[in-house]
Structure 1
Amino acid sequence: MNAAFQPYPFEAKRYDARLPDCVDGRETQRHAVTIVGGGPVGLAIALGLAQHGVRSVLIEADDSVCYGSRAICISRRSLEIIERLGALDGFLAKGLPWTGGRSFYRHDEVLHFTMPQDDNQKLPPMVNLAQYHIEQFLLDAAERHADLIDIRWRTRVTAIRHDEHGATLTLSTPASDYAAQTDWLVAADGGRSTVRDALGLKLQGTSYEGRYVIVDILLDSARPTERLAYFDPASNPGSTVLVHKQPDNVWRIDYQLRDDEDADEAVKPGNVMPRVQSLLDMMGETAPWSPVWITIYKANALTLERYRHGRVLFAGDAAHLVPIFGVRGANSGIDDADNLAWKLAYVTQGRAHASLLDSYSDERVFAAHENLSYGTKSTEFMAPPSFAFELMRKAVLSLALKHPGVRSLINPRQTSAIAYTDSPLNAASDAFACGPAPGAVLPECPLTIVDRDGAHFTAHLTDLVGPRFTALWFSNESESAIPADIAALEAGFAARDIPFTLIPITREAPADSARRGAWDHTGRLFPMYGVERTALYLVRPDGHVLGRWQGVRDERRDETAKLAQHALAAIDRALHG
């Protein structure tokens, strides 16, 4: 064991501050969107806006991507979003995929869980990747959009004034201070949000007393990638330890402190090193190791009750703080970004009324309460806040040794895509036996794509989602043409200046091999989506269903006209109220 700290096997590029053109301490250009915070959420919002052709200024106080592992688990849903942002390749090349984990009570394994993974899926359920890599890959993508994303490093927000027209920021750099004006301000500046404080807003919810020390170490081990949880282990009696393998031989270890331990003393290397060594001895890891980062964490389950305050919008940890158990922190922030970017883009481009941004708040506050509900249950088990919870946990762990029925209580439910079941955007739709209802995301399934040149290739349903609305027209008859009213949707959306794509999907390969669209070569897609004969699904740019309607067998003109009218009415209502 080497007690000296080692540098991360990752070297971040450092950036200097840059002053824009100013007159009398005021920037000459007014901006459409300014984002405060250059972490994963701020970068994802900037990339999402760029996908719609909207320029933004990104304000970041530091001079590089972050240091320390911080967020490390990226979910399948987040990977789908990141792919649409053009940054997926690095995540898959560097990240370590995993599908499950194991929990131990003292010396005995009491749970082996797996996350959903089947032949329909394109992406793994979870990838381990430290936050500095996450930020770097998103930054690499942002730098490819330098014409639309203006990143200002080493720039701090020191004051904010906002009104019904936008906001004025006082910004400080090592060289000079200046004021900048913006039509819309997005706060993605973390749990200690400067913007939130400037507006006098407070997070509401529960702060737990339980504290965890987080240690990143370098360790060369062939152990597989999975989530490991140790309850009352010999290395840390009476508490909990979590272990995650990361790329580059970095291991993340989280262990709970006893109530009587001093936090300042607990993070000193002389106190951390013996505990880590004891854990590794218990795990049977004998290779040399060295620490690279130590910090402390306290679980919070907090949120703002509204994420839109006039022309100021909140996302990520600036809007909500979620316990680490179930890996909802960064993943919920990326979901915030995906929801906000297209709506803010449509508003700034004049394609939608500003009230569309109220639905961002409605949907993501709902999602935050869902995440906090599961996070709270997990926290109460992983770090019991009282003697009663501690007694319950001990009983569950003891029973789990011989009673499989209680083992599910041990595992914190992992993050998953949240359906906006009560979203104000959801269109009145027909009843389906199954499939994604309005507000839900599209379940994944392979299909065969026929492009405009007649080339055939295998893809997945989520590949069809882009920075636009998408209509999926399901039809039984491979030889039939797209009904005229359904085909006319493209003209209807164009008249409204709404980016749109119509994708015909058939049960069998189309008789015309050059016909653009897709077909269900696995035979799984139609049953999965509850389509009996024909159906129309209207999908938002973030992959959530806006509305769905059943068709009829013979595709009669009057029936298909109604489907088209439903889709156009749903768009008008969503974008303009």
Structure 2
Amino acid sequence: MSDPTSAQFKPYPFEAKQYDARLPELVDDRKDDRVARREAQRHAVTIVGGGPVGLAIALGLAKHGVRSVLIEADASVCEGSRAICISRRSLEIIERLGALDGFLAKGLPWTGGRSFYREHEVLHFTMPQDENQKLPPMVNLAQYHIEQFLLDAAERHADLIEIRWRTKVTSVQHDAHGATLALSTPLGDYETQTDWLVAADGGRSAVREALGLNLAGTSYEGRYVIVDILLDSARPTERLAWFDPASNPGSTVLVHKQPDNVWRIDYQLRDGEDAEAAVKPENVLPRVQGLLDMMGETAAWSPIWITIYKANALTLERYRHARVLFAGDAAHLVPIFGVRGANSGIDDADNLAWKLAWVVNGRADARLLDSYSDERVFAAHENLSYGTKSTEFMAPPSFAFELMRTAVLSLAARHPGVRSLINPRQTSAIAYTDSPLNAVSDPLVSGPAPGAVLSECPVTIVDGVVGNRGRAGHMTDLVGPHFTALYFSDEGGVPPELVALETSCTVPLTLIPLARRAPADVARRCGWDHTGRLFPMYGAHANTLYLVRPDGHVLGRWQGCGATLAQRANAALQHALHA
């Protein structure tokens, strides 16, 4: 681009379908000498917010046969890259929701990144990735693609997910029995009633405001301009960070490659720069050109989207308020550093959906939803802790922090021991170590403890058909919309007491044997530890049982005879669902 200040903005290489508003069946409702329009049907679950979190919750409910109505103020999926990094944990969740194919086909996988201080490389980090993993540690995918792939999956469940576009929430009233929402559309206004209300409507949540709730925590002064550009480059996909670069002295710059030759650039504004002026093209584009020159990128480029961002580390104290539940940015705002925003929201959705579905279906006491708040508030504080450390390094909040950062960066090129302080602390699965659902368990030498997510490992899955030699699979393939009892044995046999528990249990429970040796013909689905890595990884020998929740977190683990294992598993289930 010879003259970036005269550039014309190009459209994204993605065209979002536009949706029209629609009205449900309405009836007249006389209130205080006035006639209002009210929806005739009351809903079991209403979700406000059609972004990644709201769509994931709707899909999670649909997997349990629970119908929901999703309210979205816009007419299409979002514009702009926004959230762009999806973690392995989120991909595991998205696979269970039936939307993974698009993410893997379109997304750009990556395993690490590099950081530079001025012109010197000071860090080259890699995320955990080994032969046990099924999915990449991270994929880059713009939020409009993320929403579209989840929307595609939701539209395949049109019998259970009704999406109402161009519909805004103007007020909320709630009590012990549910909530009443006042809604506004281009076709007219009306009220709707719901047994359960889920607020997934983002950082400026209308539901949160209507309930008079405030996020608490820290808002940072550092601001970043976010720019999406079109650039054809063969540069590999990785996280790139520059501290005090020649193109933007005294600040930091982040660069991510996205699909379709879209590049995401985040650069920090200097103290005293006017935010309104900072996002004007005549001020943004020369800085982008300077960055590309510094990177050695010589191809023509064009801008697509510009916005500004301020880091926040904020959360509600509780995510359940009677029959109103908060998730995603409506519940917490996490700094972008370490990519915990959308990923923590997807984890919220995974935790909430099965619990809400089981309460709606009468399989669990409504108090189960308190554990959603307990676990995800704990996770938010973990995410905020890591995000705060990353933010204080990326955008120092004081002179002392800036002095410390300069010292670390100056030493890092020659002293590897200090490089860990530059690490961006990428998001990872969080263990609910103090969850009220965790069962008292046996101390094994290794393996995921109660509250942790199931450890990934390849297994050969045999589907219980005589002569079936099995197919390649992984441990996460064995988790479904139910509790899963994983029984470790030598050749795939299971005690009759566990079989009886599976058939008599009052909640959906699937028993899956895991065999140390190739199993003989078995009448049920089982997994074979063909690599020999699974049993040591889980600290298991014959007669070991892991009880896993629908979201892939371990509820309990024990060793012993069949009768003891069945008794302890049943007690753990009853405690979790009816405590």
TM-score, length basis structure 2: 0.97
Q: Which moved more, 1:559-568 or 1:335-344?
A: 559-568
State whether residues 208 and 298 of structure 1, in contact with CA within 8 Å, keep that contact through their aligned partners in structure 2. yes
- Mapped partners of 1:416, 1:58: distance in 2: 29
- Mapped partners of 2:19, 2:301: distance in 1: 31
* 2:15 maps to 1:6: no
Percentage identity across paired residues of the two chains: 82
Paired residue for 1:536, among 533, 545, 549? 545
Aligned to 1:488, what secondary structure does the other structure show?
A: helix
* 2:527 maps to 1:518: yes
Q: Which amino acid aligns with 1:564?
A: A
Q: Which amino acid aligns with 1:362?
A: D
State whether residues 465 and 522 of structure 2, in contact with CA within 8 Å, keep that contact through their aligned partners in structure 1. no
* 2:183 maps to 1:171: yes
* 2:461 maps to 1:449: yes
* 2:91 maps to 1:89: no
1:487 Cα deviation after fit: 1.5
State whether residues 450 and 514 of structure 1, in contact with CA within 8 Å, keep that contact through their aligned partners in structure 2. no
- Mapped partners of 1:373, 1:250: distance in 2: 31
In structure 2, what is the equivalent of residue 323 of structure 1? Answer: 335
- Mapped partners of 2:377, 2:504: distance in 1: 32
Aligned to 2:146, what secondary structure does the other structure show?
A: helix
In structure 1, what is the equivalent of residue 137 of structure 2? Answer: 125
* 2:281 maps to 1:272: no
- Mapped partners of 1:33, 1:514: distance in 2: 39
Aligned to 1:66, what secondary structure does the other structure show?
A: coil
Paired residue for 1:151, among 160, 163, 179? 163
- Mapped partners of 1:462, 1:226: distance in 2: 26
* 2:72 maps to 1:60: yes
- Mapped partners of 1:219, 1:296: distance in 2: 21
Which aligned segments of 4 or more residues in structure 1 are displaced greater than 3 angstroms?
Answer: 513-516
- Mapped partners of 1:453, 1:435: distance in 2: 30
- Mapped partners of 2:464, 2:481: distance in 1: 19
1:163-218 CA-to-partner distances (Å, cap 9, x unmatched) read 00000000000011000000000000000000000000000000000000000000
Q: Which amino acid aligns with 1:465?
A: V
- Mapped partners of 1:532, 1:572: distance in 2: 26
1:499-545 CA-to-partner distances (Å, cap 9, x unmatched) read 12100001010133666311100000000000133200000000000
Paired residue for 2:424, among 400, 412, 415? 412
In structure 1, what is the equivalent of residue 34 of structure 2? Answer: none
1:550 Cα deviation after fit: 1.3
Q: Which amino acid aligns with 1:211?
A: R
In structure 1, what is the equivalent of residue 153 of structure 2? Answer: 141
- Mapped partners of 1:514, 1:159: distance in 2: 55
Q: Closer, same or farther in 2 for the Cα pair 1:91/1:142, shift >3 Å?
A: same
In structure 1, what is the equivalent of residue 296 of structure 2? Answer: 284
**Structure 2: 5+ residue runs without aligned partners?**
29-36
* 2:197 maps to 1:185: yes
- Mapped partners of 1:156, 1:177: distance in 2: 9
Aligned length: 565
In structure 2, what is the equivalent of residue 475 of structure 1? Answer: 489
Paired residue for 2:452, among 432, 440, 443? 440
In structure 2, what is the equivalent of residue 555 of structure 1? Answer: none
* 2:557 maps to 1:548: yes
Q: Which amino acid aligns with 1:238?
A: G
Aligned to 1:120, what secondary structure does the other structure show?
A: coil
In structure 2, what is the equivalent of residue 554 of structure 1? Answer: none
Paired residue for 2:479, among 450, 465, 481? 465
State whether residues 465 and 521 of structure 2, in contact with CA within 8 Å, keep that contact through their aligned partners in structure 1. no
**Structure 1: 5+ residue runs without aligned partners?**
552-558
Q: Which amino acid aligns with 1:468?
A: H
Aligned to 2:312, what secondary structure does the other structure show?
A: strand
- Mapped partners of 1:398, 1:311: distance in 2: 53
1:482 Cα deviation after fit: 1.4
1:375 Cα deviation after fit: 0.2
Paired residue for 1:485, among 494, 497, 501? 497
Q: Which moved more, 1:164-173 or 1:506-515?
A: 506-515
In structure 1, what is the equivalent of residue 31 of structure 2? Answer: none
